[in-house]
A = this chain, B = another copy of it.
Amino acid sequence: MTMTITAFESSPDRGRGLARDMRVRWALEEVGQPYNVRLVSFKTMKQPAHLALQPFGQIPTYEEGDLALFESGAILLHIAEHYPGLLPDDANARARAITWMFAAVSTMEPPIVDREIARFTEGDKPWYEEHLAMIDKRIRTRLDQLSARLGDADWLDGAFSAADIMMVHVLRRLESSGILPEYPKLSAYTERARERPAYKRAFEAQLAVFTAAPGG
């Protein structure tokens, strides 16, 4: 049964692959599973049919038969449990990879998203720059810690896993900030991930949506 995911009809990132459907597309490409995409507008996302799937009015969602999921982390974990290649077989290594999936969305992503929220909602405030500097300090604290842990390893914990998909995508959201190049190990880590054929296929697929859209 082919699964269906949702993605932005018109992504605010203009096809740069920063929306969270990219994580799901990438995971499905890694495991070699085809998928359908249902595009949703910002208006549609706030309507009852979509809210029944995603109570917070966001993308992505994941539908497979009578199963409906949301939250990119949970969707990736579901995919990883059903198809080989995204989580280690060893039980302890698997638990550690899941730890990093949570760390990506719960510890690393919040200050990075705060930076985006500040730009959109406080950009015209006289205190924007002062607040932005405080957010960037929080981001750098997390990047310092992540870079120290990653060290010279290729991936977060042994072999490439769903945790790396989550973490690399979170880090990519920093691209417009200019902060990531301060961290050569983390920059190399994201570049290494972007060289994966599955990443490239997923990226092209989401870019094609933007290119095909009116005004894209």
| Residue in chain B with minimal CB distance to A138 | B117
Are B98 and A74 closer than 8 Å at their CB atoms?
yes
The contact of A105 among B78, B105, B122, B130, by CB within 8 Å, is B105
Chain A positions 45-87 with a Cβ under 8 Å from a chain B Cβ: 51, 55-58, 66-75, 77-78
A74-B98, A92-B66, A134-B121 given as contacts; is B103 within 8 A of A57 (CB)?
no
A113 to B107, CA, bound (A): 11
A96 to B53, CA, bound (A): 11
Are B142 and A56 closer than 8 Å at their CB atoms?
yes
Are B69 and A103 closer than 8 Å at their CB atoms?
no
Total copies of the chain: 2
Min distance, Cβ A90 to any Cβ of chain B, angstroms = 10
A122 to B73, CA, bound (A): 31
B contact residues around A182 at 8 Å (CB): none
Quick check: is A209 within 8 A (CB to CB) of the other chain? no
**Which of A2-10, A143-151, A200-208 forms contacts with chain B?**
A143-151
Quick check: is A41 within 8 A (CB to CB) of the other chain? no
Q: Which residues of A contact B (CB under 8 A)?
A: 51, 55-58, 66-75, 77-78, 92, 95-96, 98-99, 101-103, 105-107, 109-110, 113-114, 117, 121-122, 125-127, 130-131, 134, 138, 142, 145-146, 148-149
